[in-house]
Chain A
Amino acid sequence: MKTFFDALLIVPVSDPDDSRRRRLLNILLLGTIVATLLGLLAVIIDTVTRGAATAVESQSTLFGIVLATIGILVIYQINRRYSGRWAAFLFLLLLTGVFSVTDSPEQLTGGRSLFLFTIPIAMSSLILAPGASFLVAALSSLVIAILALSIGQVANLFAIIGFFMLALVSWLSARSMEQALHELRVINANLDQVVIERTQALAQSLERERIEAGRSQAILNSIADGVVVFDTEWNAIMANPALRGMLDLPLDQIVNKNFRELIEHPYLSARSRNLLNAMMEHDTQPPSFRIEWDKKTLSISAAQVYDYSKDRYTNIGTVTVFRDFTREAEVEKLKSTFVAIVSHELRTPLNAILGYAEMFKEAVYGPMNDKQSNMAERIMKNTQRLLRLINDLLDQAQMEAGKLTIQMSPVRPAELLENLHGVMDKIAYDKGLKLTSEIEDNLPEVLNGDGARLQQILVNLVNNGVKFTDKGTVHVRLFCPPGSRWGIEVSDTGSGIPEAEIPHIFDTFRQVDAAATRVHGGFGLGLSIVRQLVNLMNGEINVQSKLDMGSIFTITLPLVIPQESGETWRT
């Protein structure tokens, strides 16, 4: 119904004022038609009830009604198709024309029908233009003046003044209404503009965010390492596809799950599970470690994620990076197995060479001259050197593979020194050096330690001292500082270590001077092994050195006195 009236009344034009006026005009036209039809009904009833006496009067009224109806339909068409202004103008003319014949001139100029002329005046400012009321007022004035003249009267001046007063009021009200509407439209338009701008800005920022998120996701997706982000409760918030491939699990078994569930997976070795539990429980775990997942070795590094807001950092979770370390781990294992086998296979023939050389020197098969004996000794020395190198390599390989362990048993420090002298005295003497040693009185006679490894540390340090000292002494001191530690100090009067090199002397395969390798021999493994052994024993090693003044190596180790006295210790 509403759409029917809308279709009937609304004229679709772009100017909102024009559209409003034309719609208003249509409403008035419709109302007029209804009024005309009611008039027609009244005439018919009148004719029927009063008979033929009024027939002539009724005929003229009927004629007027038909004329008005045709006029209204024409105006309606003009209004719809052509021009609202013209339609309104014609309608006002028609209305005024019709009114001017509806009653006797007496009644129209000063009687009961005078008010009829006010209707088009009031209408005109609404349907034509605010100021049009003056035009219609003038028209109406003209009409009543003519009508008055036709019956020999003077124009009704009061009525004319009244018409213009009404025109003024109509003009003012219509004008202020139009202004108000205009302002409203401007406000609406501004509002629309603001809404459009805001909507666009929102859409742009959403788009930016989407692009940004898409970019981050793309980066994450293309990383070869597995990345998983946990919240503070260790729930996996997100994970990248590389992780899925690495763990061989669908992402939905990783994301939105708690990490505690994941580490119960049977692929994980017990040792790895402990490491991961430690990672979750302590923030101070090592930043990177390795786990075994099925047949793979994965290296894991974890970092806390902090968000800076409201002037402080808040921990919002952990980002964990998984790297497939399987190949590297295999290579490492292969390397250490290789070194172990090679070392063992090298040692046996070297032992034979050493033995035969000794037999020469000991003249097992008959007397030797000095030169021959000397040569045999050289063979022995070089073989021993080779054997030491192989031992070092084997130790290094074992330590790298994490296979070297410390085995504690009761140790007599005095015996360590005795054995040290047995091995090193001759080497020092041959170089014209003195090897001296002392044990502080307060050092316990027996303490817990790995005898073989402590011996190795002493031999390596003294060997190093002898190697880099040309004259003077290498001195070994076993001491017991206050507190639950004991120590080994090896000092020499040798060439010393340049200050810049001190931080590097414990590095694997490192010698202070590359040329030193040629002069002194060795791989530069001795000190590296010493440090690694000391670390395995939970000890510390320090070095003080001045160029051309010699060096002092100091080791401190935890002091543990064995429960039972050292009867179980054998040589």
Chain B
Amino acid sequence: MSELALIIEDDEDLASIFAEALRGIGFDVELLEDGKVAQERLKNGVPPFLILLDMHLPHISGADLLTNIIKKDEKFKKTTVIITTADARMGEAYTEQVDFVMIKPISFIQLRDLTSRLKPRNE
């Protein structure tokens, strides 16, 4: 069974590139483009193996999702959280709270290499 990766990113192209990178190394990918939709999914759905979370999202920001849901709910305890942002300053501020911070522009290869290291090999 493949691990589930949740990509929360409002830019369609970036979302598709990230999805391709993760699929390429064997993740099941679920795409969410809106903060509000993502909030529902996070609250009610099964916890994924990995979350790739953009900080700037429509309606509810990634920062709010992180502080109000992901960091609060016990079910995300084992989930690897990667945040993506174009703002290096903002990224630095979150280094303590998440597993990885990726500053945009994010390279396809870079993301693929990083996530492939995270993926459990004993399938």
Bound-complex Cα distance A570 to B96 (A): 8
Bound-complex Cα distance A358 to B112 (A): 11
Residues of A in contact, count (CB < 8 Å):
18
Q: Verify if A347 is at the interface (C-beta below 8 Å from B).
A: yes
Given known A350-B105, A364-B20, A387-B105, contact A356–B13 (CB-CB < 8 A): yes
Q: Verify if B37 is at the interface (C-beta below 8 Å from A).
A: no
- Highest count of chain B CB atoms <10 Å: which of A344, A347, A351: A351
Q: Please, which residues of chain A bring their CB within 8 A of the CB of B24?
A: 362, 364
Q: Interface stretch among B58-66, B74-82, B87-95?
A: B87-95
- Highest count of chain B CB atoms <10 Å: which of A350, A354, A387: A354
B17 touches A348 (CB 8 A): no
Q: Please, which residues of chain A bring their CB within 8 A of the CB of B18?
A: 355
Q: Verify if A366 is at the interface (C-beta below 8 Å from B).
A: no
Given known A344-B86, A407-B89, contact A354–B13 (CB-CB < 8 A): no
- Highest count of chain B CB atoms <10 Å: which of A348, A356, A452: A348
Q: A533 → chain B, closest Cβ, in Å?
A: 13
- Highest count of chain B CB atoms <10 Å: which of A349, A354, A355: A355
* Residues of B contacting A: mostly: helix
A348 touches B104 (CB 8 A): yes
Other-chain residue from B20, B95, B107, B112 in contact with A354 (beta carbon distance below 8 A): B107
Given known A347-B86, A352-B17, A359-B20, contact A570–B108 (CB-CB < 8 A): no
Q: Please, which residues of chain A bring their CB within 8 A of the CB of B13?
A: 349, 352, 355-356
**Which residues of B come within 8 Å of A, CB atoms?**
11, 13-14, 17-18, 20, 24, 86, 88-89, 92, 95-96, 104-109, 112
Can you list 27 A-B contacts (CB < 8 A)?
A344-B86, A347-B104, A348-B11, A349-B13, A350-B105, A351-B14, A351-B104, A351-B105, A352-B17, A354-B108, A355-B13, A355-B17, A355-B106, A355-B108, A356-B13, A356-B17, A358-B17, A359-B20, A359-B108, A362-B108, A364-B20, A364-B24, A407-B89, A407-B92, A452-B92, A570-B95, A570-B96
Known: A362-B109, A387-B105. 12 other contacts (CB 8 A): A347-B86, A348-B86, A351-B106, A352-B11, A355-B18, A355-B108, A356-B17, A358-B108, A359-B17, A364-B24, A407-B92, A452-B88
